[in-house]
Structure 1
Amino acid sequence: MSLTRSQPASVLAAVTVTIMAALLMVVSPTPAESAPTWAPADTAEIHPGTQMYTAGAQCTGNFVFTDAAANVYVGYAAHCAGTGEATDTNGCNVDSLPLGTAVTFNEGGSLVSEGTQVGSGTLAYSSWDTMDKVGETDANTCAYNDLALVKVAAGDVGKVNPSIPFWGGPTGIDTAGTAAGDRVWTYGNSSLRFGITALSPHTGISLGDDAADGGWSHPLYTVTPGVPGDSGSAFLSADGTAIGVLSTLGLAPLPASNNIGDLAHELAYAQQHSGIAGLQLVNGTEPFDPVL
C-alpha cells in the first residue's frame, strides 16, 4: 500500500505506529541470560567436594563454573575421564572418553557402593581430549593440564552451590603461585574414606613452586595426603582464592606428596580452546574461613 496526501491522517498514523513497532521488534536486543539461582550451601546436593562417577571411576568435584548462556559446570580432573591406567598423568599420551559421556553426582560412595545419586551431567570439556585435538606439544602443558568440566543437567542446576564445604570460598583465582611453607586448604571426598566426612577437610604445606614448569604445578604435602578418589578436588590459598586442582599422588622423589595443577593456567587453556563462551569460575556464597 502506497501512502498519498489524499489518505486520512488516522490511517497514516496507524501505519506509522505499525512500522515503528516492527522496527523495534527487529532491533531490540535479546534479553541477557539470567544467572543461576544457587541452592543454600547447607542443603545443596551438588557442590565442590561432591563425588563424581564416570564409567565406574570416582573422583571429587573442585569448583563450579558458568558460561555466557548461564549453563553450570562442575570441574574435576581430566584423568577421571581418561581411558588409560590410574597412574597415567600425561594428557598428551592418553585418550579421553568422548565429550557427552554421562557423569553422575553422588554422595556416600564407598568401596562397596556408589552411594546415592543426587544429580547427573555430561562431560563438556576435557583438557586431555582438547590437547589431543589441537596437537599440544608443550611438555609442561601436557604434564600438568588436568581439568575437565561436567555440564550439570538443567533439572539439577537448582541443587548446586559453589561454596567449598567446611572452608567456604573460593574468593577468586590465585595467580601468584606458592612459596615453600605456604599453607593450602582442600576438601577431598574419596570413596576410600568410607563416608567419614571428618576426614574430608584437610590442610597442607607447599613445597615451593618449580619455575621450570612455567607455573603449571604446585607440589605439596597435606595431612592427610590426597588418596585415589580425591583426584580433582579443589585447593585454596591463604586468602581463599582457587589455586589448583589435585592431579597426582607423588611416589618419588617425594613420597606421599601431592601435586596440583594450576587453575589459572588450566582455566585459561579451557577458555581459549573449549568453545564455551564466557566460561568463568563462580565464587562461593559462603566466606572463606581457614580455621580448622
Structure 2
Amino acid sequence: MHVSHTKRRLAGLAAAAASTALGVSMIAAPTAAEAKPARNVTVAWAPAATAAITPGVQTNTAGSGQCTANFVFTDGAGNVYLGQAAHCASTGEATDTDGCLADSLPLGTRVTFNRGGSLLSSGTQVGAGTLVYSSWLTMQARGESNADTCAYNDFALVKVDAADVSKVNPSIPFWGGPTGINSTGTAAGDDVFSYGNSGIRFGIEELSPKQGISLGTTGSGWTHPVYTVSPGVPGDSGSAFLDGTGRALGTLSTLAIAPLPASNGVGDLSRELAYAQAHGTIAGLALANGTEPFSPIL
C-alpha cells in the first residue's frame, strides 16, 4: 500500500501556507448556496455492526495512495456513493493544492475499499467502485475562478458497485450519525469529531476516533481549521468530520505546517456537496444520514 499520495497533498500545504494566509475567522460561515437535504430514497442498509463498507473504510484509487472514505450518499435512482477527497486521485506534485490547476486521474477510474491496510499490506478488499465525480475535474471543466473554491473544494464521489451495495451502512463508526448537514459553519472552540483510518496506524481501528475543536471558519466559508487528538495524518485524507450535534461538517483535506502547526484543514461539506449538486451529473444527489444515533462520548 502506498501512502505517498496523501502525504504529498498534506505536505503540500506547507508550501502553500508560506504564500497563502490560512487566517481564522471567529464567526460562522456566511450564507451561501447550501446542499439540498436528504431525499426519501429507500436503500436496504446493512446492519451497522456488521457492515463491511462504511464511512472510515480505506480507499485506494488506482494506486494513487490510501485515503479514508467520509460519508455515504445516494441519488434519485437509489445508487450509493462513498465520498473521498478529490486529491486522492491526484497525479501531481506536493505543491499542487489548487484544485483548479492540479492534475487528476479521470472519471471512470476504479477504486477499491479495504479494511486493515497498513504500511506493509493493502489489507482485505471488501468492495469496489468507480470514480464518478471530482470537484477538481469539474472546476477545471467549468473554468472556476474563485480562489477559495479552487483552494478548498476537495471532494469526490465513488459509485459503489451494485454487487457491494448490500454491504454498506452510512453510520460513522464509533460516533454514530451523521444527523444531517451543518450549513452554518463553526466558531472557534466548537467541538468536532472525526474517524480517520490511515494505514500508518497499521489498521488498529481503536486509534481511529478523533475528538477536537474547530479554530473557526475561513476561506469564505469553504474550510474549517481544526485541532484534534490525534491530528490527521497521511492516509486519513478525506475522512469525515462531524460537529457537536452530529451533523456532517466536512472532509479532511490538509495538514498545516504554518501558521497553525499540526492543525488540519477540513473542507466544508455543505459547500462541496452543493457544488456537486449544481455542477455534477448525479441527479438527486444527497447525503445519507446514519442509522445509528450520534453519541459524542469518548
Specify the TM-score bucket, using the shorter chain as the normaliser: 0.7 to 0.9
| Contact 1:122/1:150 (<8 A) preserved | yes
Query: Which residue identity does 1:43 align to in structure 2?
Result: T
Give how far 1:216 is off. Answer: 0.4
Give how far 1:86 is off. Answer: 4.5
Note if 1:65 corresponds to 2:73.
yes
| Contact 1:89/1:248 (<8 A) preserved | no
Provide the C-alpha distance between the structure 2 equivalents of 1:147 and 1:75, rounded to a whole number of angstroms.
7
Query: Which residue identity does 1:226 align to in structure 2?
Result: G
Note if 1:242 corresponds to 2:248.
yes
Residue segments in structure 2 that go unaligned for 5+ positions in a row: 1-39
Summarize the alignment of residues 247-262 of structure 1 with structure 2, pairs less than 5 Å apart: 247-262=253-268
Residues 133-177 of structure 1: CA deviation (Å, up to 9, x unaligned): 111100000000000000000000000000000000000000111
Change (3 A) 1:88 1:75: same
Note if 1:171 corresponds to 2:179.
yes
| Contact 1:109/1:116 (<8 A) preserved | yes
Q: Which residue of 1 aligns with 2:286?
A: 280
Summarize the alignment of residues 23-34 of structure 1 with structure 2, pairs less than 5 Å apart: none
**Which of these residues, 61, 81, 94, is aligned with residue 89 of structure 2?**
81
Q: Which residue of 2 aligns with 1:266?
A: 272
Provide the C-alpha distance between the structure 2 equivalents of 1:34 and 1:59, rounded to a whole number of angstroms.
27
**For the pair shown, which has the larger CA radius of gyration, 1 or 2?**
1
Query: Which residue identity does 1:240 align to in structure 2?
Result: G
Give how far 1:34 is off. Answer: 6.7
Give how far 1:72 is off. Answer: 0.3
**Which of these residues, 50, 58, 61, is aligned with residue 54 of structure 1?**
61
Residue segments in structure 1 that go unaligned for 5+ positions in a row: 1-32
Provide the C-alpha distance between the structure 2 equivalents of 1:105 and 1:85, rounded to a whole number of angstroms.
24
**Which of these residues, 133, 138, 146, is aligned with residue 141 of structure 2?**
133
TM, length-normalised to structure 2: 0.85
Summarize the alignment of residues 1-292 of structure 1 with structure 2, pairs less than 5 Å apart: 35-56=42-63, 57-210=65-218, 213-292=219-298
Where 1:65 maps in the other structure, the secondary structure is: strand
| Superposition CA RMSD, Å | 1.1
Query: Which residue identity does 1:95 align to in structure 2?
Result: D
Provide the C-alpha distance between the structure 2 equivalents of 1:100 and 1:38, rounded to a whole number of angstroms.
25
Query: Which residue identity does 2:291 align to in structure 1?
Result: T
Give how far 1:90 is off. Answer: 1.2
Q: What number of residue pairs does the alignment pair up?
A: 258
Where 1:214 maps in the other structure, the secondary structure is: helix
Provide the C-alpha distance between the structure 1 equivalents of 2:53 and 2:95, rounded to a whole number of angstroms.
28
Where 1:44 maps in the other structure, the secondary structure is: coil
Query: Which residue identity does 1:54 align to in structure 2?
Result: T
TM, length-normalised to structure 1: 0.87
Query: Which residue identity does 1:218 align to in structure 2?
Result: H
Give how far 1:202 is off. Answer: 0.9
Residues 167-217 of structure 1: CA deviation (Å, up to 9, x unaligned): 00000000111111111000000000111111100111111223xx21000
Provide the C-alpha distance between the structure 2 equivalents of 1:99 and 1:89, rounded to a whole number of angstroms.
19
Task: Point out which structure has higher relative CO (alpha carbons under 8 A, 6+ apart).
Answer: 2
Where 1:184 maps in the other structure, the secondary structure is: strand
Provide the C-alpha distance between the structure 1 equivalents of 2:95 and 2:205, rounded to a whole number of angstroms.
26
| Contact 2:41/2:76 (<8 A) preserved | no
| Contact 1:74/1:149 (<8 A) preserved | yes
Query: Which residue identity does 2:115 align to in structure 1?
Result: E
Q: Which residue of 1 aligns with 2:37?
A: none
Provide the C-alpha distance between the structure 1 equivalents of 2:190 and 2:199, rounded to a whole number of angstroms.
28
Where 2:221 maps in the other structure, the secondary structure is: coil
Provide the C-alpha distance between the structure 1 equivalents of 2:247 and 2:186, rounded to a whole number of angstroms.
12
Runs of 4+ with >4 A deviation: none
Where 1:131 maps in the other structure, the secondary structure is: helix
Provide the C-alpha distance between the structure 1 equivalents of 2:147 and 2:244, rounded to a whole number of angstroms.
29
Give how far 1:87 is off. Answer: 4.7
